[in-house]
Amino acid sequence: MALPLAQEIIFGLVIGSYIALGAIGFTLVYGLVNMINFAHGEFVTIGAYVGFLSIQIAGLPLPVALVVTFFGTAVIGWAIARVTFEPMNDAGAVPLLLMSIGLGLVLRNLIRLVAGAGGRDVQVGVATYRFEDLGFFVTSQQLFIVGVTLLVVLVLHLFLSRTMLGIAMRATAGNEDLALVSGIDTRRVRNVVWLAAAGLAGVAGILLAVAQEASATVGFGQLLLMITAAILGGAGSPYGAVAGSYLLGIGIAVSVAFLPAGVTAFGSTMAFVVLILVLLVRPGGLVNAEVRTT
Amino acid sequence: MKFEDLPVDATRAGAVLLVLAVAFLFSPLFVRPPAATLVLFEVGVLFLLYALVLVGLNLQFGHTGLVNFGPVAFFAVGGYVAAIVTANDPYGAVGLGLPWPVGLAAGVVVAVVLGALIGASTLRLRDDFLAIVTLAVAEIVHGLIVTVRDVTGGSNGLQNVPRPIAATTGGGGAGELFATVLVFGALAVLFYGLFHRLSASPYGRVLRAIRADEQVTETLGKRVFRYKFVVFVYGAAVAGLAGALLVFYNGAAAPGFFTINVTVIVWIGMLIGGAGNDRGVLGGLAIIMGFQLATRFLNEQLPVITPDQFASVRLMLIGLLLMVIIKYRPEGIWGDADELGVES
DSSP string over A126-186: --EEEETTTTEEEEHHHHHHHHHHHHHHHHHHHHHHHSHHHHHHHHHHH-HHHHHHTT--H
CA A262/CA A259 separation, integer angstroms: 8
User: What residue spans define the domains of chain A?
Assistant: 2-219
| Residues of A whose CB is below 8 A from B138 | none
Asked if A196 and A238 count as a contact pair (C-beta separation under 8 A), the reply is: no
Q: Cβ–Cβ contacts within 10 Å for residue A203, how many?
A: 29
Q: Cβ of A84 and B139 within 8 Å?
A: no
Is residue A14 within 8 angstroms of chain B, CB to CB?
no
Distances (CA, A) of B62 to A278, B137, B194, B267, B341: 28, 21, 16, 10, 11
CA B311/CA B6 separation, integer angstroms: 39
User: So what's the pLDDT on residue B39?
Assistant: 85
CA A56/CA A65 separation, integer angstroms: 10
CA B130/CA B70 separation, integer angstroms: 10
Q: Cβ of B132 and A231 within 8 Å?
A: yes
CA A188/CA A178 separation, integer angstroms: 15
Chain A interface, best mutation among B61, B64, B140, B211, by max A CB count within 10 A: B140
pLDDT band at B170 (very low <50, low <70, confident <90, very high): low
The shortest CB-CB distance from B309 to any of A91, A113, A273 is to A113
Q: Cβ of B143 and A112 within 8 Å?
A: no
Helices within B64-173 (DSSP H only): 71-86, 100-122, 127-147, 149-152, 164-168
Asked if A218 and A237 count as a contact pair (C-beta separation under 8 A), the reply is: no
The sign of the dihedral angle between the CA atoms of A47, A49, A50, A55 is positive
Q: Cβ of B129 and A84 within 8 Å?
A: no
User: So what's the pLDDT on residue A260?
Assistant: 65
Q: Cβ of B316 and A227 within 8 Å?
A: no
| Residues of A whose CB is below 8 A from B144 | 266, 269
| Residues of B whose CB is below 8 A from A285 | none
Q: If you average pLDDT over residues A160-183, what whole number do you get?
A: 89
Burial zone of B109 (CB within 10 Å; 0-12 exposed, 13-18 middle, 19+ buried): middle
At B128, give phi and psi (nearest 5°): -75, -15
Q: Cβ of B125 and A101 within 8 Å?
A: no
Strand partners, B253: B158
The contacts of residue B125 (CB under 8 Å, 6+ apart) are A279, A283, A291, A292, A293
Q: What is the pLDDT of residues B282-298, one digit of tens each?
A: 999 999 999 888 887 78
Q: Which residues of A226-261 are buried (b: 16+ CB within 10 A; e: fewer)?
A: bbbbbbbbbbbbbbbbbbbbbbbbbbbbbbbbeeee
pLDDT at B1 over 50: no
Q: If you average pLDDT over residues B64-73, what whole number do you get?
A: 92
Asked if A275 and A232 count as a contact pair (C-beta separation under 8 A), the reply is: yes
Chain A interface, best mutation among B326, B327, B342, B343, by max A CB count within 10 A: B326
Asked if A73 and A201 count as a contact pair (C-beta separation under 8 A), the reply is: yes
User: So what's the pLDDT on residue A293?
Assistant: 53
User: So what's the pLDDT on residue A294?
Assistant: 42
User: So what's the pLDDT on residue B84?
Assistant: 93
User: So what's the pLDDT on residue A1?
Assistant: 44
Q: What is the pLDDT of residues A209-246, one digit of tens each?
A: 988 888 888 888 888 889 889 988 888 888 999 999 99
Q: What is the pLDDT of residues B267-278, one digit of tens each?
A: 999 999 988 888
Query: Which residue type is seen at A113?
Result: L
Q: Cβ of A97 and B343 within 8 Å?
A: no
CA A57/CA B15 separation, integer angstroms: 66
Segment 101-160 of chain A within 8 Å of chain B by CB:
101-106, 108-110, 112-113, 117
Is residue B220 within 8 angstroms of chain A, CB to CB?
no
Q: If you average pLDDT over residues B23-46, what whole number do you get?
A: 83
Distances (CA, A) of A171 to A165, A167, A194: 10, 6, 16
CA B35/CA B168 separation, integer angstroms: 21
The shortest CB-CB distance from A280 to any of B121, B267, B319 is to B121
Q: What is the pLDDT of residues A110-152, one digit of tens each?
A: 999 998 877 888 877 777 787 777 777 888 888 999 999 999 9
Q: By three-state DSSP, how is residue A60 classified? A: coil
CA B284/CA B270 separation, integer angstroms: 6
Q: If you average pLDDT over residues B213-240, what whole number do you get?
A: 93
| Residues of B whose CB is below 8 A from A275 | 132-133, 136
Size of interface A-B (CB pairs under 8 A): 124
Segment 84-123 of chain B within 8 Å of chain A by CB:
121-122
Sequence length of chain A is 294
The contacts of residue A169 (CB under 8 Å, 6+ apart) are A28, A32, A160, A189, A192, A193
User: So what's the pLDDT on residue B5?
Assistant: 56
Q: Cβ–Cβ contacts within 10 Å for residue B90, how many?
A: 22
Best mean pLDDT range from A207-221, B29-43, B218-232? B218-232
Chain A's closest residue to B313, CA to CA, is A109
Is residue A94 within 8 angstroms of chain B, CB to CB?
yes
To the nearest whole percent, how much of chain B has pLDDT over 70?
Answer: 96
CA B25/CA B169 separation, integer angstroms: 7
C-alpha angle A22/B126/B330, rounded to 5°?
Answer: 85
pLDDT at B344 over 70: no
pLDDT band at A194 (very low <50, low <70, confident <90, very high): very high
Q: If you average pLDDT over residues B185-195, what whole number do you get?
A: 93
- B8 HSE (CA, 13 A, CB side): 12
Q: If you average pLDDT over residues B165-175, what whole number do you get?
A: 74
CA A222/CA A45 separation, integer angstroms: 10
CA A241/CA A244 separation, integer angstroms: 5
pLDDT band at A73 (very low <50, low <70, confident <90, very high): very high
